[in-house]
């Protein structure tokens, strides 16, 4: 974590894309293998399992071996959170997003790996092992979804034209009163509840139009999904309309909307909270 911003340059994007995919798949395999493991509480009361730690070790060891000078920030190392971004370039990890769903036997959990460059999500991969879906930004531009069990791949593209009804994705594991109120004010929206960073991915894949988040969330929960969404042609912005940035003290993200062009100011529901 001692590297200085001036000493760092982004890694080769093709090499990073290949390694990120491999590490995400390995972490996902470990998570599935450890299903049913015990759950403990962290100091902040959030849950952690052996699977979280095993996935974290796979991601950190792989990235450190390949990129020893690039700092790594992970949900599972709380001591590094308070000061914010350790450099202009750093990895931001959530080895198992959706631990609550995972612990109760659900399927909406993901492995998340993002590279942050000067506050922006430069590259990202999101792997949902129980759904057999891997989403990633591509070094040549654009984004893709892969079905790892078959090797089938398809380009990810957000919805661009008007679509009725518009679909919003909403958290399945967190009670968000303000987000529920926002949705209630837009009765024309079809609402789908799903866990983890899959909400970003459903917007990126054209299966949803908007993901509102009006409650506290941490940057590692959203950075990889944001990278995929942007690469697929979508937008993630705070309520003032500014693109999301990463590396704030405590890695606390602002309230935001993530959306496709199909969800615009001209829609009956409106875009702003």
Q: By mean pLDDT, which of 5-19, 148-162, 218-232 is the weakest?
A: 5-19
* Domain at 167-259, CATH class: alpha beta
CB of 144 closer than 8 Å to CB of 162 = no
- Mean pLDDT, rounded, for 194-218: 95
- CATH fold of 5-156 reads Fructose-1,6-Bisphosphatase; Chain A, domain 1 (3.30.540)
pLDDT of 44 > 80? The answer is no
Report whether pLDDT(7) > 70: no
Per-residue pLDDT averaged across 142-160, rounded? 97
Of the listed ranges 99-103, 125-129, 141-145, 223-227, the least confidently predicted one is 99-103
At 163, the pLDDT band (50, 70, 90 cuts) reads confident
> What local confidence, expressed as pLDDT, does residue 269 receive?
47
Query: CA–CA separation, 137 vs 9, rounded Å?
Result: 19
Statement: residue 41 has pLDDT above 90: no
Residue 255 has pLDDT above 50, yes or no: yes
Q: pLDDT for 56-72, tens place per residue?
A: 999 999 999 999 999 99
Cα angle, residue 240 at apex, residues 237 and 245 outer, rounded to 5°: 40
Q: Return residue ranges of the chain for CATH 3.40.190.80.
A: 167-259
Q: Binning pLDDT at 50, 70 and 90, where does residue 38 land?
A: confident
pLDDT band at 174 (very low <50, low <70, confident <90, very high): low
Identify whether the C-beta of residue 53 lies closer than 8 Å to the C-beta of residue 184. no
Tell me what pLDDT residue 268 has: 46
Alpha-carbon distance of 239 to 13, in angstroms, equals 31
Q: What is the pLDDT of residue 3?
A: 42
Q: Where in the chain is the domain with CATH 3.30.540.10?
A: 5-156
| Cα 40 to Cα 51: distance, rounded to the nearest angstrom | 11
| pLDDT at 47 > cutoff 90 | no
pTM across the whole model: 0.93
| Residue 45 in this model has a pLDDT that exceeds 80 | no
Q: Is 242 exposed, middle or buried, given 0-12, 13-18 or 19+ CB atoms closer than 10 A?
A: exposed
Residue scoring higher pLDDT (265 or 181): 181
The rounded mean pLDDT for the chain is: 91
Q: What is the pLDDT of residue 136?
A: 98
């Amino acid at each position: 974590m001692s590297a200085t911003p001036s000493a760092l340059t982004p890694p080769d994007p093709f090499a990073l894309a290949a390694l990120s995919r491999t590490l995400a798949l390995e972490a996902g395999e470990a998570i599935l293998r450890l299903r049913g493991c015990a759950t403990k509480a962290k100091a902040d009361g959030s849950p952690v399992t052996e699977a979280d730690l095993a996935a974290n070790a796979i991601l950190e060891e792989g990235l450190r071996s390949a990129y020893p000078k690039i700092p790594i920030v992970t949900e599972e190392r709380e001591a590094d959170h308070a000061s914010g971004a350790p450099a202009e370039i750093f990895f931001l990890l959530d080895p198992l997003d959706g631990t609550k769903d995972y612990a109760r036997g659900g399927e909406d959990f993901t492995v998340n790996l993002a590279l942050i460059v000067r506050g922006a999500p430069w590259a990202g991969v999101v792997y949902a092992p129980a759904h057999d879906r891997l989403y990633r930004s591509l070094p040549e531009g654009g984004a893709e979804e892969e079905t790892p069990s078959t090797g089938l791949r398809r380009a990810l593209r957000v919805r661009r034209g008007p679509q009725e009804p518009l679909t919003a994705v909403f958290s399945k594991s967190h009670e968000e009163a303000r987000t529920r109120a926002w949705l209630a004010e837009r009765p024309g929206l079809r609402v789908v509840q799903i866990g983890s960073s899959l909400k970003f991915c459903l917007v990126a894949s054209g299966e949803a139009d908007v993901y509102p988040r009006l409650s506290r969330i941490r940057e590692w929960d959203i950075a990889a999904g944001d990278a995929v969404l942007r690469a697929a042609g979508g937008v993630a912005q705070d309520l003032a309309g500014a693109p999301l940035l990463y590396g704030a003290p405590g890695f606390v993200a602002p309230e935001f909307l993530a959306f496709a062009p199909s969800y615009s100011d001209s829609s009956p529901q409106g875009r702003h909270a």
